[in-house]
Structure 1
Amino acid sequence: MTGPRIFASPRDLLGAEGTQLGPTPWLVIEQSRIDQFAEATEDRQWIHVDPERAATGPFGKTIAHGYLTLSLANAFLPQLIEVQRFSHGVNVGMDRTRFLAPVPVGSRIRGTGEIVKVEEIKGSIQSIVRITIELEGSEKPACTVDTISRYYPES
């Protein structure tokens, strides 16, 4: 792990397109995390929560929900990039989300990133960071997503 790339202020993001971020430490996807996500989202499909049935299914074990994998982009983002000296920030949304490989229980994932675009919008600095959630031992990443964040200057 290299630690987050630090930007002293939102304006320091301007011109940082192409900056590579990460990787983060590996994170093991345990059945307890999958079960907690299933409860929180009420998505209790057997392929996620029934290890006995999933053992005879297409992946030989349970797999993480795609949206669980995607939600971990929020855990990886501050491990990849740290912007300082702003009054508040907001997640504006995401674009280009793709689920490219299933994440079996017990596997390890981590995040890498790239600053794709930075611009001034409505009194803020908006950044688009493409997060790739890598799956250990897989040629394909588990997920890719372009996160969109806005940082508002200090008063």
Structure 2
Amino acid sequence: MAFSLRDHVAAAPLLRSRFTERLVDKCRPASAGIPKTPTRTSHRSNRQLVRNALVHICLAGTVNTNTKEEVLEDLDGFAGDNFVILFRGTKDHAFRALYSYDAKTSEVLKVYGTGPMSLTGAQVAEFYKYDSGSRSFKTVPTKSFGIS
């Protein structure tokens, strides 16, 4: 089979277009052409982490069964996404109150327990973050409430 120069010149644009199509296909995301469903762009909730901290650390044991059930019922019934646990002191992690944190208004309002109706960063001696892997609280170097 022999090709003339004219055949090569005629085939060049065809090869070029196939090559660019392949490049475009490789650069195009896999979901291109598929309409995206609207997703809710919200922040993450710490509800499950707070639940685990209450069950495994703060209100563990049979002595706290009634309090634990009441707190978990209020936690599940509350519409907020972010929660704060107030401890009695900095040495032990004994439960005092559960608060809801609103990221838009930066308000921390009481959901359950004994303590002030609202909290500010100035009222808090130390901030902690619950580590679910080691089931312990780690100190966080901050002076205010926020979502991390």
Shorter-chain TM-score category? under 0.3
**Structure with higher RCO (Cα < 8 A, 6+ apart):** 1
Q: Please state which structure has a larger fraction of its residues in strand.
A: 1
TM score, norm. by length of structure 1: 0.23
Q: TM-score, normalised by structure 2?
A: 0.23
Larger Rg: 1 or 2? 2
